[in-house]
Structure 1
Amino acid sequence: MSSGRKRIWEVWKSNAKFNSEIHGEFRIELTRFPMVAQSLEYLHEFAKSTAAHFPNLDADLLPFIQAMQNWRMPKGGEPLFLHYRHTFHSVTEFENANILIEKIDTSVDKLEMILDISFNVRSIAYLADKGAGPNKSILHAVPIKYQYGVGFEIEERAQIAPVLIHSSKIDFESHRVALNHYQTGMTNFLLGDDFPGLIDAAFMQFYLCVEAILEASGEGEAIKNSRKMFKEPVSEELIKDLYRVRSQFFGHVDPTKPEIIRALDDEVTSFEIQKQVLVAKWLARDLLCRITGCLSNNRKTRLYSDLGESVDFSGDISLLQSDFKPPSSKKEKISRTAL
């Protein structure tokens, strides 16, 4: 779900006064993934060909093609830029450039699909053309990202020493599948929102860890198996929450659901869904420690939103009805005052 989340952009604009149209182009910095440079080179070659003038070219993609005519292959470690031609016809249009930034971001998605490549946008800048080519930066935008934090407090450190001392008793090999899912989830978790889809991936890996341990793809069977496997009861509310959230938001979801539509357009609803990864991580770690005998701590983890809120989950099931209650199917948006 989160891979389709509407990104929030932090935009800086020049205070310089403009009395006429502003000509220039956007420079969209991309992550240097394999074959991205070659994909940009292809767009440059296409832009210079007569094929670029076909009337059926998508109107949202035309500004890219027009600007890519003057693109050059970067040297050495120079950044990779996708170009987008645009003229601001008024000061008002320039002041409302955030709308255009979002449109460009969405249009990049179309190029990615057509080229079968990932253009991870790092920043977007607008270079004004004063007659010597686009060279004066008057706007700069960067995506505001979710960030995760993992604590390592004094009491947490004290719990690790005895586990290390008796680590020969921990059964890692019998539960390699679950362990691999958990560690992959942690990798995605700590990368946070650097690349689209990592939050989804982290949740799903933690979910798959739980599924592998409980050997169940449904909540009823998972609860039944947990009762058989562990003498000390596992929170059935946490298991129910995990399986339901997975089905509602991270599985094969219904894209027409109001809460899914809101999450694509509203950062508050999106954050309410993203928080569920903390619950999934806590339960996966708890079950993994139980079944392997690795009785170390479940370290405090925190999610920081682009709205200034931060939350953590430490196994308190009462929070499933408050701070960690998933969005409902009601049509009204979640109020910002709840944050």
Structure 2
Amino acid sequence: MSVSLSSNRECATLRSFLMSALSYRDWDVWINSTYYDGRTYDGYFELTIVGTLMVPQTLEYLAESYEVRQRQFTRVARANPDIVRQTMHTEEGNLCLRVYDRLDTNADLAGLLRSLNSFLEAVGLATDSPLSSQKIRFISFHEGKLLVANRRSVGRGMAFELEERGTASQKLAEDLDYYLDHTDSNLVVGRRHYMTGMQLLGIEDAVTGLLDAAYMQFYQGCEALCRDPRGSLEPSKQHIAALQLPDSRDLQIIAHQVWRVRHKYFGHGDVAYNLEANLGQASAAAVARQVLVARYLCRRLIDAQAPSGAHLVREMNLAFGQACAAFMGSVQQLEEDFRVQFDGRTSKIYHANGQEIEEYTLA
């Protein structure tokens, strides 16, 4: 959020949490410092809600039937549709949940945001509705707007370098029929997972869980392309070895990390690792970047048998307030910019005949 500062305004960055394996986000907070003087003000919080799925109907039901005061629901009966619409929308026309409460200007802002998001999560669970807020503001009955908090997005960047354009031209000329071929079921499924993952990455970071979903799409694409019915790691690496690609060794080590990260951060309900992923900006960014590793492997496996022999993985990065290097397929990157904590860091390396030839331990 870009804010022009003046004598009665202040802006800060705070951290809070929402639901997801990768829910950590920074919040940009604006306060009206004229009234941030240690006093407590009566008014209401507006929790702007993303209007997905059945959210509008849920908020309409709440606005018709309840008033929320100090995080408690009190029964009311609002028959006038204009009042209902006013209650469930901000002045700008966005969906919202209005919570009448008092703002203590001495309160810890990060704690306040966490408590409001936790309350919203509880309401979502009670109504079986995916309630998620991107903006929270407090409006005093007498002094007006005192607090505005906006949830930051994870930045995305994708290049189209000159050499990538040359490769794309080659693939359009030589590989189009390969991509149109629907006789290889594993390849068809792998391609579909890959494109779904790319579409999820392309969606604006408005709802938590999109990075998780994109990672799983790329991972499932890798499973299909490695052709092991159980999706097991070692047979999948043996399949990669059998392809006899020039970077087979690196790809097997990359697959080792992709599988381990999936099991520890995105699957099997590993609570400890989920909590670790959301400890702070650095840990959240380290886990989020793994989606680029999974994407790289999936794309390389799609192109493994392309007639041109060329592979195209365009440069892409994610940014948690700072730039992140694109993953280009090197083991050194796994141990530096794309290092993340997981157990079982020793990877077996296989020959094309399926025999183990060495072990490599990731730093």
CA distance in 1, matches of 2:52, 2:265: 28
5+ residue gaps, structure 2: 1-18, 344-363
Per-residue CA distance 1:84-117 (angstroms, 9 max, x = gap)? 122134x422xx3332112101211111111111
CA distance in 2, matches of 1:260, 1:310: 22
Match of 2:312 in 1: 297
CA distance in 1, matches of 2:20, 2:159: 24
Per-residue CA distance 1:221-252 (angstroms, 9 max, x = gap)? 11112222345452211111111111111111
CA distance in 2, matches of 1:165, 1:322: 37
Asked whether the equivalents of residues 64 and 83 of structure 1 are also in contact (C-alpha less than 8 Å), the reply is: no
Normalization by structure 1: what TM-score? Answer: 0.82
Letter in structure 2 aligned against 1:249: Y
Please tell me whether residue 12 in structure 1 is matched to residue 26 in structure 2. no
5+ residue gaps, structure 1: 53-60, 330-339
**Aligned equivalent of 1:42, options 38, 56, 61:** 61
Q: 1:177 to 1:111 in 2, by over 3 A?
A: same
1:263 offset after TM fit, Å? 2.1
Normalization by structure 2: what TM-score? Answer: 0.77
Higher strand share: 2
**Aligned equivalent of 1:223, options 237, 244, 259:** 237
Match of 1:260 in 2: 274
Match of 1:247 in 2: 263
Please report the RMSD computed on the Cα atoms of aligned residues, expressed in angstroms: 2.7
Q: What does residue range 52-91 of structure 1 map to in structure 2 within 5 Å? A: 62-63=70-71, 65=73, 72-74=84-86, 78-89=93-104, 91=105
Per-residue CA distance 1:125-178 (angstroms, 9 max, x = gap)? 110111xxxx81111111112122111111211221122122454244222111
Q: 1:67 to 1:32 in 2, by over 3 A?
A: farther
Asked whether the equivalents of residues 210 and 283 of structure 1 are also in contact (C-alpha less than 8 Å), the reply is: yes
Q: 1:162 to 1:309 in 2, by over 3 A?
A: closer
Q: 1:69 to 1:62 in 2, by over 3 A?
A: farther
Q: 1:128 to 1:9 in 2, by over 3 A?
A: same
Match of 1:162 in 2: 170
Higher helix share: 1
1:312 offset after TM fit, Å? 1.6
Match of 1:337 in 2: none
Match of 1:126 in 2: 138
- Higher mean alpha-carbon deviation, 24-33 vs 287-296, is at 287-296
CA distance in 2, matches of 1:99, 1:120: 17
Per-residue CA distance 1:12-36 (angstroms, 9 max, x = gap)? 0002134743111111111222432
Q: What does residue range 164-313 of structure 1 map to in structure 2 within 5 Å? A: 164-172=172-180, 173=182, 174=184, 175-191=187-203, 193-216=205-228, 217-234=231-248, 235-255=251-271, 257=272, 259-293=273-307, 295-306=310-321, 308-313=322-327
Q: Report SS of the residue matched to 1:311.
A: coil
1:77 offset after TM fit, Å? 8.5
- Higher mean alpha-carbon deviation, 191-200 vs 238-247, is at 191-200
Asked whether the equivalents of residues 210 and 287 of structure 1 are also in contact (C-alpha less than 8 Å), the reply is: yes
Asked whether the equivalents of residues 120 and 132 of structure 2 are also in contact (C-alpha less than 8 Å), the reply is: no
Match of 1:27 in 2: 46
CA distance in 1, matches of 2:116, 2:27: 12
Per-residue CA distance 1:310-333 (angstroms, 9 max, x = gap)? 23211111111122111257xxxx
- Higher mean alpha-carbon deviation, 39-48 vs 236-245, is at 39-48
Letter in structure 2 aligned against 1:211: E
Letter in structure 1 aligned against 2:270: D
Asked whether the equivalents of residues 2 and 197 of structure 1 are also in contact (C-alpha less than 8 Å), the reply is: yes
1:206 offset after TM fit, Å? 0.7
